[in-house]
Chain A
Amino acid sequence: MKKTLIAGILAISSLAAHAEYQEVSLTVFGMDCAPCAHAIHVSMKGIQGVQTVDVNLNTGLVSIKLAPGNTAALRQFNEAVEKNGFTHKDANVVVRGTLSGTASAPFLEVSGTKDRFALAPIASGSNLTAVLGKTVIVTGTLPQAAKGKVPDSLRYKTITEAR
């Protein structure tokens, strides 16, 4: 009984601390036709945790929604684009992670992946002291990185404590 209780508490606490990408939107360059878009769709759907993929050929926008508890890493989304011979510009993300560092030099760590980003505000910065060390949900933009690389900073629009 005690073991079950401990396991239950651990499971709940790990879920509460879980970090993951919730939404990723990429503008993909070079897709001219339906098979290009279908190839991107198939590649994205192959990433564990991806729930829905929407591809707009005329805008190049690829919108991905992910399941809670997924461990998908940004590198996988980049690879899915590059393996099909395309490139993408910035990526807009909604990501859940742990805020570390200091209020003046904060970092977002997406546990379950190796992704760690230095945070910089898109507009005026907010005081992050209250949420340091906590699990937060960040919306923002990951700038385009060199091929095969993941950007090391995230320009955030909003940071809210996860509930």
Chain B
Amino acid sequence: MRYFLALACAFALARMALAADHGPVFSYATPVNSQGELSFDAGITGRYGSSGTQFSTGSGFGYGLTPHITLNAFLPATFGTGSYPESRIVSGSEWSAGASWRFLHSVTSVGRRTESTASLGVVVPGPQRDFGVLGSLHRAPGIAGTLATGLASRSQYLWVGGGYTRFAEASSDRRPDTVSWSGVYGYRPAKLRRGYDQWDYRGFAELTGEHTGDVRSGGAVLPNSSSTTVWLGPSVLAIFKDVAIEGGVQGPVFRDVSESVYGREKVRFAINFSYLKFSSHTNSH
């Protein structure tokens, strides 16, 4: 029982600081659920390139334990083809769980706040195998940590963040460690700074990057299996009260990937739907 509880808590962490409901679709951001808020995300992400298209659909759950701590779980499923490097920005086949803690939170004026959020979680292999090189590896769980900081206001948003994921070894195989980072700028035009009972729109420019280490297979390092990529693209978030829809697309601006190991990835895209169930409960009378 304790094992399952730990696993459940750990699960909640992996996608943690990565966007969904309140923020950008690819990048790390700081928002967490309010106390008692239940959030449900469902979306699809895709990676298109020379070796085909790889899709990942996923369901994410979040629960606001306190105003600043949220438990998360993310359970994706993959389909399609494509042999691309490990990515923690675009979800793969790993299930994950963990917690996000907004440890810095400054709200000193109307419509503006600055905050920092750290997340820690467990990533475990899902029931499906990956594609290409990574699909042939024995898989083991890993841990993922992220950190994001930035500001949110009625007109502008700015967040920077980074994350690190490390997998354990299984039968002398090991998935590559992944370092990922992001910077995102968001803007809501004056005409769209409307009442909360109307659709709320904002646009983002998202810059993300990832470096994946060497793949270990059978105890040996697979030559040229490390990769570094940087991606840039727009995304749009639309929210009406407790429902959010967001979508974005990115193209590569830097790519150091061996095409003898991986396919040439050209486009990343994502669409996400969120439902937010806010709590009306207050403790005291």
Binding site for B on A (CB under 8 A): 27-39, 41-43, 45-47, 55-60, 71, 73, 75-76, 79-80, 82-87
Interchain CB contact under 8 A, A38 and B112: no
Closest to B155 in A: A32
List 5 A-B residue pairs with CB atoms under 8 Å apart, sorted by A's residue number. Answer: A29-B107, A34-B200, A35-B22, A35-B200, A35-B239
Residues of B within 8 A of A37 (CB): 195-196
Cα-based distance from A61 to B239 in the complex (angstroms): 20
Whether A33 contacts B67 in the complex (CB less than 8 A), given A39-B37, A43-B278, comes out as: no
Output the least CB separation between A37 and chain B (Å): 3
Cα-based distance from A106 to B273 in the complex (angstroms): 55
Residues of A within 8 A of B202 (CB): 33
Interchain CB contact under 8 A, B35 and A32: no
Interchain CB contact under 8 A, B108 and A42: no
- Is residue B260 within 8 Å, beta carbon to beta carbon, of the partner chain? no
Interchain CB contact under 8 A, A34 and B241: yes
Interchain CB contact under 8 A, B113 and A73: no
Q: Which of B68, B113, B280, B284 contacts A43 (CB 8 A)?
A: B280
By secondary structure, the A interface counts as mixed
Q: Which of A42, A80, A87 contacts B107 (CB 8 A)?
A: A87
Which chain B residues in 139-190 approach chain A with CB under 8 Å? 152-154, 157
- Is residue B137 within 8 Å, beta carbon to beta carbon, of the partner chain? no
Interchain CB contact under 8 A, B193 and A42: no
Residues of A within 8 A of B193 (CB): 57-58
Residues of B within 8 A of A75 (CB): 284
Whether A76 contacts B284 in the complex (CB less than 8 A), given A30-B112, A32-B112, A83-B36, comes out as: yes
Binding site for A on B (CB under 8 A): 21-22, 32, 34-37, 67-68, 102, 105, 107-113, 152-154, 157, 193-196, 198-200, 202, 239-242, 244, 276, 278-285
Q: Which of A27, A38, A46, A76 contacts B110 (CB 8 A)?
A: A27
Which 3 residue pairs are nearest across A and B when measured between Cβ atoms?
Answer: A46-B280, A30-B107, A37-B196
Interchain CB contact under 8 A, B196 and A83: no
Residues of B within 8 A of A87 (CB): 107-108
Cα-based distance from A54 to B102 in the complex (angstroms): 28
Candidate in B102, B107, B276, B281 with the most chain A CB atoms within 10 angstroms:
B107
Cα-based distance from A79 to B153 in the complex (angstroms): 22
Cα-based distance from A17 to B106 in the complex (angstroms): 42
Closest to A55 in B: B196
Closest to A59 in B: B110
Whether A83 contacts B112 in the complex (CB less than 8 A), given A34-B196, A35-B22, A46-B280, comes out as: no
Cα-based distance from A28 to B152 in the complex (angstroms): 15
Closest to B111 in A: A32
Interchain CB contact under 8 A, A35 and B107: no
Output the least CB separation between A30 and chain B (Å): 3
Interchain CB contact under 8 A, B111 and A60: yes
Cα-based distance from A135 to B200 in the complex (angstroms): 45
Output the least CB separation between A20 and chain B (Å): 13
Closest to A38 in B: B241
Output the least CB separation between A133 and chain B (Å): 27
Cα-based distance from A75 to B282 in the complex (angstroms): 9
Interchain CB contact under 8 A, B113 and A39: no
Interchain CB contact under 8 A, A41 and B196: yes
Candidate in B111, B152, B157 with the most chain A CB atoms within 10 angstroms:
B111
Cα-based distance from A59 to B241 in the complex (angstroms): 18
Residues of B within 8 A of A36 (CB): 196
Cα-based distance from A28 to B34 in the complex (angstroms): 15
Q: Which of A28, A35, A46, A84 contacts B281 (CB 8 A)?
A: A46
